[in-house]
Amino acid sequence: MGIKIDLTYLKNMSAGDNGLIKEMIDIFIEQVPEFISEMKSAIKNDDSKALAAVAHKAKSSVAVIGITELAEFLKKLEIIALNNERKNEYPEFLNYFETVSNEAIKELNKISLEL
């Protein structure tokens, strides 16, 4: 798949402090399973508002890490869920988020080792 991660924002925000960058990466890696769990729960409970809230929260974390493509996807998902649209596609959206996030985690683990 080849996920693109741009750490420019994170490097600027941390003033190049590799320890802080690693900490932010670790926090993101810990958050992803929580986001996935919350999305699954929202979909199972047919709660579009909750799905929009999780997409919004995840979007911020994804943007800080520099996964622009996934942040854009989450922005769209948030709007779709807020408008209570395309509900039959929610499981597919979740699958995409999970797949791309797991790919990003693999990449971030490699990056973290190099810092």
97 belongs to a structural domain: yes
2 belongs to a structural domain: no
20 belongs to a structural domain: yes
Q: What is the CATH number of the domain that holds 24?
A: 1.20.120
Q: Is residue 47 classed as helix, strand or coil in its secondary structure?
A: coil
- State how far Cα 11 lies from the chain centre: 18
Total number of domains constituting the chain? 1
74 belongs to a structural domain: yes
67 belongs to a structural domain: yes
Q: In degrees to the nearest 10, what's the CA dihedral of 52, 60, 104, 18? A: -160
Structural domain including 63 reads 8-110
What pLDDT, on the 0 to 100 scale, is given for residue 1? 53
Assess contact for 104 and 67: CB atoms under 8 A: yes
18 belongs to a structural domain: yes
What pLDDT, on the 0 to 100 scale, is given for residue 100? 96
- Where is 101: in which H helix or E strand? helix 90-114
Dump pLDDT digits (tens) for 16-72: 899 999 999 999 999 999 999 999 999 999 999 999 999 999 999 999 999 999 999
pTM above 0.85, yes or no: yes
Apex CA 68: angle with CA 63 and CA 71, to 5°? 60
What are the backbone dihedrals phi and psi of residue 17, each rounded to the nearest 5 degrees, phi first? Answer: -75, 105
115 belongs to a structural domain: no
